[in-house]
């Protein structure tokens, strides 16, 4: 794909860059996105129906098992060239913030540092009642979900479910990063789940150049300054190499 030279120049000289990633960036690692037809073991369940407090209240075992399966999927694979390219981009830009909706932890493994996890992290566990993060519990009971060692209630993944609020400090930091960004990249997100989907709008309102990287159009596409239509695992390495040929 031909990357516009004006875009390369803008990236090279930008002092502040913010990025929002969604499930699409992990697609090339083999992790299914949320809004595509699912295959395999969990094909008959909609992820958007399992990732809810109601689903957990009704069938905590099913939801826990789904997360156990998803953790296994993630652990069996690794970050892809898109994740690594973002870590190289961070090293080039004075002020860089990586905002992610993903819970897979791949950005950190790939070497990104200034990461805001809007929807939590699937490898962290918390008490479903007290919401304290719990690092270890008694596996010998064989409970699914396991029980909180402090209060005996169920444990759950420390992720944000539908209808739940985002961590306010993380969201505020993401909005600040968007508002101060000269360049904002929206990568691999369908831009339908709010408030995450509003973050690029803050960047736009503050005059940022908006770049979208996605093989399919989204609600954001008409507002993007540049649309790089294709898989992020190919486009991001090409973009960073075009701006900093020596970085590769």
Contacts with ligand OAD by CB under 6 A lie at: 22-25, 27-28, 33-35, 48, 51, 101, 119, 160, 162, 188-190, 193, 214-216, 218, 231-233
Least distance from C-beta 151 to ligand OAD, angstroms? Answer: 25
Q: Are 204 and 210 in contact (CB under 8 A)?
A: yes
DSSP β-ladder status, 133-134 and 120-127 = antiparallel
Check 83, 119, 194, 219 and give the catalytic one: 119
Quick check: is 219 catalytic? no
CB of 91 to ligand OAD, least distance (A): 22
Helix, strand, or coil (residue 20): strand
CA distance linking residue 57 with residue 135, whole number of Å: 22
Which C-beta is closer to ligand OAD: that of 43 or that of 151?
A: 43
State in angstroms the smallest separation of the CB of 62 from ligand OAD: 16
For 158, phi and psi rounded to 5 degrees? -85, 65
C-alpha separations of 177 from 20, 69, 104, 213 in Å? 10, 33, 22, 19
Q: Which residues are catalytic?
A: 119
């Amino acid at each position: 794909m031909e990357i516009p030279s004006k875009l390369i120049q803008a990236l090279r000289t930008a002092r502040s860059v913010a990025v929002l990633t969604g499930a699409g960036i992990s697609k090339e690692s083999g992790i299914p996105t949320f809004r595509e037809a699912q295959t395999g073991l969990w094909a008959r369940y909609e992820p958007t129906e399992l990732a809810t407090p109601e689903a957990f209240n009704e069938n905590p075992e099913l939801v826990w098992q789904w997360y156990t399966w998803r953790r296994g999927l993630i652990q069996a694979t690794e970050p892809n060239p898109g994740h690594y390219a973002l870590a190289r981009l961070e090293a080039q830009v004075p002020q860089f913030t990586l905002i992610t909706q993903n819970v897979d932890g791949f950005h950190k493994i790939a070497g990104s540092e200034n990461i805001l996890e809007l929807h939590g992290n699937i490898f962290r566990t918390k008490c479903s009642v007290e919401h304290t993060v719990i690092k270890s519990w008694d596996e010998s009971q064989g409970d699914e979900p396991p029980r909180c060692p402090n209060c005996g209630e169920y444990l759950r993944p420390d992720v944000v479910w539908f209808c739940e609020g985002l961590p306010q400090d993380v969201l505020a930091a993401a909005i600040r990063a968007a508002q101060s960004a000269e360049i904002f990249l929206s990568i691999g997100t369908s831009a339908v789940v709010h408030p995450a989907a509003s973050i690029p709008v803050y960047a736009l309102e503050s005059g940022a150049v908006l770049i979208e990287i996605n093989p399919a159009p989204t609600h954001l596409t008409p507002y993007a300054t540049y649309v790089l239509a294709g898989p992020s695992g190919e486009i991001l390495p090409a973009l960073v190499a075009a701006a900093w040929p020596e970085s590769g």
